[in-house]
Each structure stands twice: as structure tokens, then as C-alpha cells.
Structure 1
Amino acid sequence: MVVNPVLEVHDLHVAYGKVEALHGASLQVGAGQIVTVIGPNGAGKSTMLNALAGAMPVNGSMRGTVRFLGQDTAGVAVETRVARGMCLVPEKRELFASMTVEDNLLLGSYRRYKARESGYADQMAVVYELFPRLQERRKQQAGSLSGGERQMLALGRALMAKPRLLLLDEPSLGLAPLIVKEIFHIIVRLKQSGVAILLVEQNARAALQAADYAYVLETGEIALQGPAAELAHDPRVIDTYLGLAKKAG
């Protein structure tokens, strides 16, 4: 049981039209905790994140309870969730390719600027400290960046909003192994700053190494859950997600 959870999800069902993609999922994320959801393609992982962020498609529907910082999110708009500190970094990153790195980052702090929060621009220094490469390329167009740099920019833009909860959708997708290692190193550093992270990943090995707690999602249902270090040694997880070589080693 998580003490003072940032995110509480209970019996979440999500459907597209008449097809139910998520069946009764329940999970919790605490402050300064990385919780990962692993599973195969089509298991419902991205569907879960979009539902939590309030980014449901027109033909989508959901039922169940989602509480963020103790408040029910039913009927709460995406913009309001962001203002309260919930930020989604989508799988496709969705950057503004023709804008500079710096302008993309500034867009992440637009809500804070509009609310006239003091020190909103100071967060840029925090992002550049985490991602020195972004500072080097701050005047370049986002569309000219490598895949790893675009992922860093997507993370940095979300951090400009000073989130309490980051929803990360497949941050390693399409990246070279060395870049994946770097991205996950940064994710662990974010946790140390007190940000709660819900990480959806197909790269089960990297996710379980970084996370505190893990859920295995299969065909829309939570099939397994437990401390990430324990699931990493569970024979069912090893055989299905980590490969047979892991067992031998």
C-alpha cells in the first residue's frame, strides 16, 4: 500500500466504441516513485495513459475511479490536469518541428507564464542541467534533432511545467541501446527530485531495472504485479519478456 499516493486508479475500464481495451485495471503511484507497466503491443498500455491524462478519442469511453493528488479526475479537462501537475509525454513526442529547441521548451511553461508564476523561466536552467545536449542545440529546429534528442526535448518540455506526475509512453521507442540507457538514467534522476513517474514500456528489462514497482498488462488486464526487482526474477516474466538467456544467467 502506497502512503499518500499521487495517483490512484481503481477498476478502470476503457472502451473504443463497443470494444473494451482495458478491463478493471487498478494501480497506485507514490511521490518520488517510478511505477512501470510492461506488456506486449496491443495490451492496452497507451490506452491506459491516454485515459489517465484525459486524452480520450471521440469514440472512447471510460469508467472507474482515477484520483490525482487525492482529487477525482472525472470530468476534469486535460488543461486542468496539466495545471494541477499531471503531464503526459506521448509515444510520438509531438514536438513542433519547425520551432527551435528553446521555443519548444518555453511552450511547456506557457501555462505557468500565463498564470504569471514567478520564476517560471528558471526551470529552463534545470532542464539544461539534465539535458546538456539540448542547451547545445537550443537554437536548432526540433525537426533537425536525432531520435534520442527529440525524446530528451519531449521530456524537457514536460518538465518545464514542474509536474508532480509524469506519464511516460514508450520513451525508449526507436532508440539505439546506448541512448536508451541514457534516457533511463535521466528518468531515475527525475525520480530523485520527487517527481512521481508512471512509465509504460515494451523494453521490460530497462523498465524493471529503473522502476520501484511494476505491473504486467496483458490483453487489457493486470496479470501480475509486485516490486520491480521481484518481477525481474519471476519465471513468467523472464520467459515472456526478458528472454530465456536471462534465466540461464
Structure 2
Amino acid sequence: MITMLGNQEGTPLLEVNNLSVAYGKVEALSNFNMRVNQGQIVSVVGPNGAGKTTLLSAIMGVLGSKGHVDFDGHVEQCPQVEQMVIRGLGLVPEKRELFGTMSIEDNLMLGAFQRYRQRDKEIFSTLDEVYDIFPRLKERRSQQAGTLSGGERQMLAVGRALMAKPKLLMLDEPSLGLAPLITREIFKVIDQLRGHGVSILLVEQNARAALKLADYAYVLEMGELSMEGRGSDLVEDPRIIESYLGINSKHQDVLAI
């Protein structure tokens, strides 16, 4: 295991210590350590099958795990999804998982379900904020979610997560399946969210775009941490260029901000 003491500048919001996940006898994530500070965008990059989605699922409590997850001052040995949502953790899954026959607005309101249960009176002002970020969703708020394009579906998935007023938003492969221009638009929105006070943990296969955006980044390979550092440093690192940016560098340049 590689032990590093990086990303120490700032107030910690999420700290993951020795997190491990196994599917039967196969270990998909092995003693992984990372930290996200308040106000940061932190990226986790790596090839398919590296364990990136497993990492997010374990932090959220969707998957059982060993190790510790410290989120906003609460240490959990095996997080519970509902408690993590209440504390301010949001996840936009890779498959977006929208309700296709429901309207855009109804999908958004479902994101505020826990706040509704707590009789939060600010839900509709949050809805207005989401519509300010995604004016296209406001224009089509009565339209069924299943009729949206891929980019619009991703916007809706992010908007739904924002309705819970998360302190930390975890995004799993937000550019997956999107055209280059739409991908650039999504990454610009992610950058804007930081200005709205949302910290972001971004899991992304498009290494160049993710590293350019990140304050700090971790490289995950075969379930283990292989490198970490400032995003601006890693994007120039020869090992990263050779492993992740060399073959598809021209294509990734188009997608990068």
C-alpha cells in the first residue's frame, strides 16, 4: 500500500481511511486513502475496472466495506445511505437512474425528499437555483424525463442531486456517452458549482478534463492508489501522459475545458 500525506491544505470534509471492498474473494478496492477539503474539486481517474464506481458506492453506503469514512465530522465504519444523504452527501450515479415517465420537475422534487420529510420550507427556492444553473430544464419542466437527450438527462441527474442541498456532490462518469460539446458544457457547470459552495468528488475516465478541473487528484489502478497530487501537476506528469493521455490526447483536448 502506498501511504501519502497529500491534500492537507484546507478543512477536511471527507476523509477515507483504509477503505476496502471485496466481491466474494476478489478485492475491488484495497486500503484506499483520500481526502476532500471544503470548497474543493477532487478527481479520481483511472481505467475501466480500476474500482472508481466501487469507491463512490462504498463511501455512500451502497456497498459494504472495511475501513472508515469520515464525512463532515462523523466517522462511519459502514455508512448508511439515508444518514449520509441527511448529512449532506449526494451521488449522481453513472447510469443517472431517472424516472423516465415522470416530469423533469417531479424528478427534481424527488431529490428533495428528505428535506420535505423534515418540513424544510426552502425547497422551492432551491428549485429556482437549479433552474438558474440549468435554464434548459426550466423551459422543459413539464416534459417527461425519458424524452430528454443524453446531455439533458445528465443535467437533470445533477440538478436532482442539488435539490438535497449537498455539502459534497459525488459524480460518477458525468461525461459518459456524451458528445464533446455537451461534455464541455457539463464540465463548465461542475466548475460553476464550486462557486455555489458545493464541494465535488469527480470520478471520470476522461483524465485530461478531470485533472484540469481538479484542485487535487488521485489515480486508481487495480483497486489501489498509484499516484496522487495537484491536478495541475498530474496533468503534466510524464507517467500520466503515457498511461492516460498519450493515445487519446487529441480527443481529450477537445473535451477538456
TM range (shorter): over 0.9
- Give deviations 1:74-114, integer Å, cap 9, x for gaps: 34421111011001100000000000000000001111111
Where in structure 2 are there 5+ consecutive unaligned residues? 1-7
Offset at 1:204?
A: 0.6
Identity %: 59
Q: TM-score, normalised by structure 1?
A: 0.95
Equivalent position of 1:50 in the other structure: 57
Displaced runs of 4 or more, over 3 A: 244-247
Where in structure 1 are there 5+ consecutive unaligned residues? none
Distance in 1 between the 2:249 and 2:158 partners?
30
Equivalent position of 2:243 in the other structure: 240
- Give deviations 1:102-148, integer Å, cap 9, x for gaps: 00000011111110012121101100010011011101000000000
Q: Does the alignment pair 1:191 with 2:194?
A: yes
Q: Residues 196, 245 of structure 1: CA spacing in aligned structure 2 closer, same or farther, 3 A cutoff?
A: closer
Offset at 1:73?
A: 2.3
- Computed over aligned residues only, the root mean square deviation of the Cα atoms, in angstroms, reads 1.5
Offset at 1:2?
A: 3.7
1:225 to 205, 223, 228: 228
Equivalent position of 1:27 in the other structure: 34
Equivalent position of 2:65 in the other structure: 62
Equivalent position of 2:144 in the other structure: 141
Distance in 1 between the 2:221 and 2:66 partners?
19
Offset at 1:192?
A: 1.4
Equivalent position of 1:113 in the other structure: 116
Offset at 1:240?
A: 1.1
The letter for the 1-side match of 2:29 is: L
The letter for the 1-side match of 2:23 is: Y
Q: TM-score, normalised by structure 2?
A: 0.92
Distance in 1 between the 2:152 and 2:246 partners?
29
3-state SS, counterpart of residue 94 of structure 1: coil
The letter for the 2-side match of 1:232 is: V
3-state SS, counterpart of residue 228 of structure 2: strand
